[in-house]
Structure 1
Amino acid sequence: MKKMVTLSLILLATLCTTSLMAEEKLNTPPEGFTALFNGKDLENWRGLVGNGNPYTLQEMSEEDRSKAQAEANELMSAHWGVQDGVLVFDGKGKSICSAKDFGDFELYVDWKIEPKGDSGIYVRSTPQIQIWDTEYPEYFKHGAEKGSGSLWNNKDNERFPLAKADNPVGEWNTFHIKMVGEKVTIWLNGKLVTDNVILENYWKRDAGIPVIEKGAIELQNHGNTLYFRNIYVKELN
């Protein structure tokens, strides 16, 4: 009898856990935030035109830009898709950008990579907040062992993260990114890894021009399978 009661309690606990998990909703933004990824399709996203240089885009005629964007969107649809509420990239094609440009903002994004994975988050169309396999020896020469969350393309300002906070490859990680003015603060899995550091203007570095005031949020690829979900943004006044 005692054994039957124990088994019943275990079954009840399992059912309760399953029920709670079923109630958890992916891609549902917290109060004050908007979901950039709706968990269903590629609404709110566009394909990357060229190499994503915003100044080059500004110089294109409206006709040329429209044609290039249509081609980029077609390529995006071929290699980016949605599986069970997760945005998945098959490792081919190009990066993906938010359809809207953002100035000052807060961003949450869950990401997951596979072994040898290499990716990043562009903010204001500018590279990049680094994502990579921090245990892959080939990347050590670039500083991967220091962790994800670095402002990889910085030269004059802090480049590497304050701490390594990555979960093991194959597990989900969460970035919380805050950008105000030209400065970026980043938390990875709840740990501060970049503290109010200037993001340098990769595209106009030699001219000494600060990062552009508004630009796209880009999910970068380096030829690896990538996974993203729970992408929430809040614009800051």
Structure 2
Amino acid sequence: MRTGSAILTTLAVLFLSVAPVLAEGEIEDGFVSLFNGKDLTNWTTPEGDGGKWKVVDGVIDYNADSEAKGDKNLWSEKEYGDFILKMDWRIKETSGLYPVPIVLEDGSYLNDATGKKLTIQMPNADSGIYVRGTSKAQINMWCWPIGSGEVYGYRNNQKDPVIRAGVTPKINADNPVGEWNQFTIIMVNDRLTVILNNKMVLENAQLPEVPAMGRIALQHHGGVNADGSYKPASSLVQFRNIWIKELPNPKSP
């Protein structure tokens, strides 16, 4: 009978044997790697971060405790226009109870009889992916019932009901906290498609006036309290297997 350590060793060997095949498949499809599994090459660490964005056991790890005084996000060095972005991500653990609103299918909130937005205290952690260099075009990763993949900045600042509904997930496709998820994010002109764990959560959603080019960011969110405890919804996240394929666009500068 195999011991637990023997089983883990076998799984690790199997993963390492499959990983080069997966990488080869991405390269053959025109993708390039944005993360080498060793260091933060291709990324710009926030000034004064204090080593909170780091590589641990082959993944980008963040604990929400950046010491940077300004922008705390991890940004790609390069700007991108139209692209297909693939990455694995996971929320390591939740960081406290957060008043989570109930988002409806049309992107609006569920209200009580007086018109006040309803919230439910739930365990949560929060991060996201910025595209085209702007926080408004943030693809959320969190524990809300609506699911990850929504574009918070557009959903909350858009009066057009069609656009608002378009940036609201069609389905909650998240794996449980602690398990890995896979994003495929596709940007073409001002249209965004998001596939989460092989399920279409956004389809050709319009992001009006989104910049034509911009860097990609892995989002800092939350932080720590004076006593060292995490604030609710802090970013306790990891990323791996980050690949991007640039798409031709005659409209790009």
Unpaired runs of 5+ residues, structure 1, are 1-6, 48-71, 134-143, 201-209
Q: Given residue 91 of structure 1, which amino acid in structure 2 is its aligned partner?
A: A
SS in 1 for 2:14: helix
The answer to whether the aligner puts 1:121 opposite 2:129 as a matched pair is: yes
Report the CA distance between 1:46 and its aligned residue.
Answer: 0.8
1:50-61 equivalence runs, <5 A: none
Match of 1:78, SS state, is: coil
TM-superposed CA distance for 1:13, in Å, is 9.4
Does 2:139 correspond to 1:145? no
Residue 20 (structure 1) aligned with residue 14 (structure 2): yes
State the TM-score, normalized to the length of structure 1.
Answer: 0.71
Question: In the superposition, relative to structure 1, how do residues 45 and 14 fare at CA in structure 2: closer, same or farther (>3 Å)?
Answer: closer
In structure 2, what is the equivalent of residue 222 of structure 1? 221
How far is 1:186 from its partner?
Answer: 0.6
Q: Following superposition of structure 1 onto structure 2, how do residues 1-237 of structure 1 map, counting pairs within 5 Å?
A: 19-25=13-19, 28=23, 30-31=26-27, 32-47=30-45, 72-75=46-49, 78-93=51-66, 94-113=72-91, 114-115=93-94, 116-126=124-134, 127-133=137-143, 144-154=144-154, 155=158, 156=160, 157=163, 158-200=166-208, 210-223=209-222, 224-237=235-248
Is 2:129–2:140's contact at 8 Å kept on the other side of the alignment?
Answer: yes
- How far the C-alpha of 1:159 sits from its partner, in A, is 2.8
Give the partner amino acid of 1:89. Answer: Y
3-state SS in 1 of match to 2:153: coil
Corresponding residue for residue 115 of structure 2: none
How far did 1:190 drift? 0.2
CA distance in 1, matches of 2:178, 2:85: 22
Identify if the C-alpha distance between structure 1 residues 195 and 19 changes in structure 2 by more than 3 Å, giving closer, same or farther: same
Q: Is the 8 A contact 1:153 1:159 kept in 2?
A: no
Alpha carbons 2:132, 2:212 under 8 Å: kept? yes
- Looking at CA atoms only, which structure, 1 or 2, has the larger radius of gyration? 1
Q: Give the count of matched residue pairs.
A: 184
Query: Once superposed, which parts of structure 1, at least 4 consecutive aligned residues long, lie more than 6 Å away?
Result: 12-16
1:88, 1:95 → 2: CA distance?
Answer: 12
Q: How far is 1:24 from its partner? A: 3.3
Q: Report the AA paired with residue 33 of structure 1.
A: F
Identity among equivalent pairs (%): 42
Are residues 211 and 25 of structure 1, via their aligned partners in 2, closer, same or farther at CA, if it must alter by over 3 Å? Answer: same
Q: What letter matches 1:97 in structure 2?
A: W
Which runs of 5 or more residues in structure 2 are unaligned? 67-71, 95-123, 223-234, 249-253
Quick one: which amino acid aligns to residue 19 of structure 2? K
CA distance in structure 2 between the partners assigned to 1:89 and 1:119 by the alignment: 10
8 Å contact kept, 2:64–2:221:
yes
* Maintained 8 Å contact 1:107/1:231: yes
